[in-house]
């Protein structure tokens, strides 16, 4: 599987299928990625992004899925703890400690709660934490799904910062850790290099700092 960080929390997984998670990038558009499946962790603009205009098969928590359906998106709802299989891709929805309001001029609303995703495709398991604070049940995500890759927010203020994300990485135990949701704006500035150094000094995990648009290959582990 090929993993591309498009910036902020937006990640494209390319394998048998193309899975786009949180289709928002601060500048430009994700329309050219032409995903088979879009996953949206929660209703905030910097995650829902272009989900409405893409109009691709989309998976989100039930309340958010219904909002997307009303906008003409072929969205499927699920909820935390559940797993669905779609086109050979296994998608499990995980908890996230965060809110999920929709910023819509037609009426801001609550879109259920925020979530994360565990995605399994082509023998690779990727955990995208979404926006979240640290929670100790991340240990269960490690025990149950053994992710190869953990995509963790480190920007602070709205999510975990580097200190909490270091603990999260150890709870999850994914050998490859990729920080996301930082440095997009001044308010979520983070020292990603310091995060990498601190984790790699004290654990056997590896932190990969991708620039926006950069990719890496994730070999199958099972």
**Where do contacts with Mn ion occur on this chain (CB under 5 A)?**
46, 131
Positive or negative, the Cα torsion across 98, 47, 64, 56? negative
44 binds Ni ion (CB under 5 A): yes
50 binds Ni ion (CB under 5 A): no
Distance CA 65, CA 108 (A): 15
Positive or negative, the Cα torsion across 20, 23, 26, 30? positive
Shortest CB 146 distance to Ni ion, Å: 27
Q: Which is nearer to Mn ion, 63 or 131 (CB)?
A: 131
Distance CA 60, CA 66 (A): 9
- For residues 134-150, one letter each, b for 16 or more C-beta atoms within 10 angstroms of the residue's C-beta and e for the rest, the string is bbeebeebbeebbbbbb
- Helix, strand, coil percentages, rounded to 5, for the chain: 25, 35, 45
Q: Give the x-and-dash track for 82-121 against Ni ion (CB under 5 A).
A: ----------------------------------------
Residues facing 89 on adjacent strands: 86
63 binds Ni ion (CB under 5 A): no
Q: Which is nearer to Mn ion, 95 or 142 (CB)?
A: 95
Shortest CB 221 distance to Mn ion, Å: 29
Q: Give which of Ni ion, Mn ion, none residue 63 binds (C-beta under 5 to 8 Å, depending on kind).
A: none
Which residue among 22, 63, 131, 148 contacts Ni ion (CB under 5 A)?
A: 131
Q: Which is nearer to Ni ion, 103 or 143 (CB)?
A: 103
Q: Give which of Ni ion, Mn ion, none residue 148 binds (C-beta under 5 to 8 Å, depending on kind).
A: none
Our CA dihedral for 32, 66, 98, 49, rounded to 10 degrees, sits at: 20
DSSP, res 70 = H
Q: Give which of Ni ion, Mn ion, none residue 164 binds (C-beta under 5 to 8 Å, depending on kind).
A: none
List residues binding Ni ion (CB under 5 A): 44, 131
């Amino acid at each position: 599987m090929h993993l591309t960080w498009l910036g902020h929390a937006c990640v494209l997984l390319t394998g048998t299928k193309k899975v786009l998670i949180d289709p928002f990038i601060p500048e430009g558009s994700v329309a050219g990625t032409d995903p088979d499946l879009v996953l949206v962790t929660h209703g905030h603009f910097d995650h829902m992004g272009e989900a409405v205009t893409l109009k691709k098969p989309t998976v989100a928590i039930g309340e958010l899925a219904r909002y997307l359906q009303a906008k003409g998106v072929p969205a499927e709802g699920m909820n935390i703890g559940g797993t669905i299989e779609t086109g050979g891709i296994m998608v499990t929805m995980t908890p996230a400690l965060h809110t999920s309001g929709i910023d819509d001029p037609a009426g801001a609303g609550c879109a259920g709660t925020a979530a994360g995703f565990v995605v399994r495709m082509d023998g690779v398991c990727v955990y995208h934490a979404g926006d979240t604070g640290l929670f100790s049940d991340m240990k269960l995500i490690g025990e149950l799904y053994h992710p190869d890759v953990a995509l963790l927010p480190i920007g602070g203020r709205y999510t975990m910062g580097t200190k909490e994300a270091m603990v999260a990485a150890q709870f999850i135990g994914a050998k490859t850790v990729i920080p996301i949701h930082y440095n997009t704006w001044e308010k979520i500035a983070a020292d990603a290099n310091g995060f990498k150094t601190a984790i790699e000094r004290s654990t056997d995990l590896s932190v990969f700092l991708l620039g926006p648009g950069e990719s890496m290959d994730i070999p199958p582990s099972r």
